[in-house]
């Protein structure tokens, strides 16, 4: 069902448009998608605290209402469905007239979902949804906002993952989408170089967000529809995978760690093209791909599906 796009009127935004000798003051503006919880919500809070005007993209009115109740000056909730082209273009039309000529503008493509489970058992509709939200949506968002990014000293942030460099069993859809973002970020960075638009890829490792619980629910929904004789083939491995996700959820870093890296990337004069977040992202993400496949697969199999 398509979602409409609208700005929720809040008074804090009106105070961010101060004047100096009758002329509007330049301000830093960012649009962040997927801000109902987790990393996206922390990015909004931090950027708003640093003086940004932040358009916080959410899919549901209830999440927009929560943002209003938090009363963070500079936060503007924005109803946005990133998989709907009409919704994206409505967002462009809403934000464009609110920018002054000297304002800076950043697009933080954070929205994402996880689809998991044994590849043999996955529904193709779920696989397509994974790529629609995690790959095609940030591409469509970036395409639509490029005129604003060119005109306002823009920066593009893409939310990648450690899984964009190294994949585990049962997360192939999610890892595949994040691998795709790695290539997209590299190509886009070179294509936009003539206009000075920086493209930055975040590569978080294990972060304590609702994503792990969501992953478990999606895997459960997948296996509920599977014939028992096929499910029996993977039952023990799935139990191991569930224990693994529980461990990740209990030991992950706070989402604010990612938010701080995003804020740094937006403010740095010469930001890096990639920002690993967490020791696991630095170690496994950098060293893992250098290990021969046969050895790496054996290690990851034992770590994730130990019996």
User: CATH number for the domain including 72?
Assistant: 3.40.50.720
Q: Provide block-wise average pLDDT over 10 residues at a time, the chain (307 residues).
A: 46 40 72 95 96 96 91 92 97 96 97 89 91 98 97 96 90 94 97 97 89 71 75 80 74 92 97 94 85 89 72
Ranges assigned E (strand) in 132-243: 155-159, 198-204
Judged by DSSP in three states, 184 sits in: helix
Q: Which of 52, 174, 275, 284 is catalytic?
A: 174
Domain membership of residue 1 (yes or no) is: no
Domain count, the chain: 1
- Establish whether 179 is a catalytic residue: no
| pLDDT the model gives residue 1 | 40
Give me the DSSP letters along 85-136: HHHHHHHHHHHGGG--TT-EEEEEE-------S-GGG--HHHHHHHHIIIII
Strand pairing category for 198-204 and 28-32: unpaired
CA angle 41/43/45 to nearest 5° reads 70
Nearest Cα residue to 94 out of 3, 4, 2, 6: 6
Domain membership of residue 207 (yes or no) is: yes
The answer to whether the beta carbons of residues 119 and 238 sit under 8 Å apart is no
The answer to whether the beta carbons of residues 110 and 207 sit under 8 Å apart is no
Domain membership of residue 117 (yes or no) is: yes
| pLDDT the model gives residue 7 | 56
Q: What is the pTM of this model?
A: 0.88
Domain membership of residue 116 (yes or no) is: yes
Domain membership of residue 4 (yes or no) is: no
Domain membership of residue 157 (yes or no) is: yes
Which residue range is the domain that position 122 belongs to?
11-304
Domain membership of residue 192 (yes or no) is: yes
| pLDDT the model gives residue 6 | 52
| pLDDT the model gives residue 17 | 42
Domain membership of residue 5 (yes or no) is: no
């Amino acid at each position: 069902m398509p979602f409409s796009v609208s700005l929720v009127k809040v008074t804090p935004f009106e105070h961010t448009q101060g004047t100096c000798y009758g002329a509007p003051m330049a301000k830093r503006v960012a649009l962040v998608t997927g801000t109902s919880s987790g990393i996206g919500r922390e990015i909004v809070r931090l950027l708003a605290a640093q003086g940004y005007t932040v358009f916080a993209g959410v899919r549901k009115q209830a999440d927009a209402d929560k943002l209003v109740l938090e009363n963070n000056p500079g936060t503007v909730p924005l109803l946005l469905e990133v998989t709907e082209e009409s919704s994206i273009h409505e967002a462009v039309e809403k934000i464009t007239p609110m920018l002054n000529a000297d304002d800076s503008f950043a697009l933080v493509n954070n929205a994402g979902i996880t689809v998991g489970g044994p590849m043999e058992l996955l529904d193709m509709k779920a696989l397509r949804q994974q790529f629609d939200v995690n790959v095609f949506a940030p591409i469509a968002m970036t395409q639509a906002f490029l005129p604003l990014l060119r005109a306002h000293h823009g920066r593009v942030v893409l939310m990648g993952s450690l899984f964009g460099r190294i994949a585990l069993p049962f997360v192939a859809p999610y890892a595949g989408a994040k691998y795709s973002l790695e290539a997209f970020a590299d190509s886009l960075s070179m294509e936009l170089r003539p206009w000075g638009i920086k493209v930055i890829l975040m590569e978080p490792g294990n972060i304590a967000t609702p994503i792990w619980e969501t992953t478990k629910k999606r895997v459960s929904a997948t296996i509920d529809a599977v014939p028992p004789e096929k499910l029996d083939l993977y039952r023990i491995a799935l139990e191991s995978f569930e224990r693994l996700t529980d461990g990740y959820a209990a030991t992950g870093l706070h989402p604010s760690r990612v938010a701080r890296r995003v804020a740094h990337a937006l403010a740095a004069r010469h930001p890096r093209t990639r920002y690993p977040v967490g020791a696991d992202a630095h170690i496994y993400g950098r060293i893992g791909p250098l290990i021969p496949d046969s050895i790496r697969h054996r290690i990851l199999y034992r770590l994730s599906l130990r019996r």
